């Protein structure tokens, strides 16, 4: 999953988010940095019942935060969402030059952007895509 730092950098660079089903988000400004949330219409939780792991289903969540504004949530795009966002910013012709490869220390996302070759490395594939998307956002404006 993308890091909080990269998610914040993408938001600061202008990446917009229209919340949708199965999107992940964090609430770091609420002291919940270590928690990841997902938008779903039926919450499920993991509980231990008589020593066994059980999935429980609840119709309503009782929590100290009844709601938060979408602007307070920090979108945590998935690897596939990041790849799609990046591909959408590349020229269609010639075919987009985008590649993700494994390295000894993690992952490298390489692409051609504005006539120059760009290579972004990170320990996680999502963060490699995020770094490349951040460069594309900065280049566009």
Same domain, 87 and 28: no
Same domain, 83 and 65: no
State pLDDT tens for residues 9-45: 999 999 999 999 999 999 888 877 788 989 988 777 7
Give the residue from 112, 88, 93, 111 showing the smallest Cα distance to 101.
Answer: 111
**Secondary structure tally for the chain: helices H, strands E:** 3, 8
Domain count for the chain, please give it.
Answer: 2
Burial class (CB in 10 A: 0-12, 13-18, 19+), 118: middle
pLDDT of 129: 97
**26 assigned to some structural domain:** yes
Cβ neighbors of 80 (< 8 A, separation 6 or more) are none
Same domain, 102 and 139: yes
Cut 0.75: pTM above it: yes
* CA dist 53 → 10, 42, 48, 49 (Å): 37, 19, 5, 7
Q: Are 14 and 137 in contact (CB under 8 A)?
A: yes
**7 assigned to some structural domain:** no
Same domain, 88 and 135: yes
Same domain, 56 and 90: no
pLDDT of 126: 97
Same domain, 82 and 71: no
pLDDT of 59: 58
pLDDT of 67: 67
* C-alpha 133 chain-centroid distance: 11
State pLDDT tens for residues 39-92: 988 777 788 888 888 887 765 555 555 667 788 889 999 999 999 999 988 877
Looking up residue 100, the CATH number of its domain turns out to be: 3.30.160.20
For 91, the domain range is 78-141
């Amino acid at each position: 999953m993308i890091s909080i730092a990269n998610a914040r950098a993408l938001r600061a660079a202008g990446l917009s988010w229209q919340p949708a089903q199965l999107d992940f988000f964090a609430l770091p400004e609420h002291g919940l940095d270590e928690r990841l949330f997902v938008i779903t219409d039926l919450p499920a939780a993991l509980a231990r019942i008589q020593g066994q792991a059980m999935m429980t289903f609840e119709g309503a969540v009782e929590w100290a935060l009844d709601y938060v504004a979408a602007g307070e949530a920090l979108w945590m795009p998935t690897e596939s969402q990041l790849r799609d966002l990046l591909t959408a910013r590349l020229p269609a012709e010639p075919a987009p030059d985008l590649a993700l490869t494994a390295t000894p220390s993690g992952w490298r996302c390489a692409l051609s952007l504005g006539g120059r070759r760009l290579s972004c490395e990170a320990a996680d594939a999502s963060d490699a895509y995020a770094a490349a998307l951040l460069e594309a956002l900065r280049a566009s404006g």
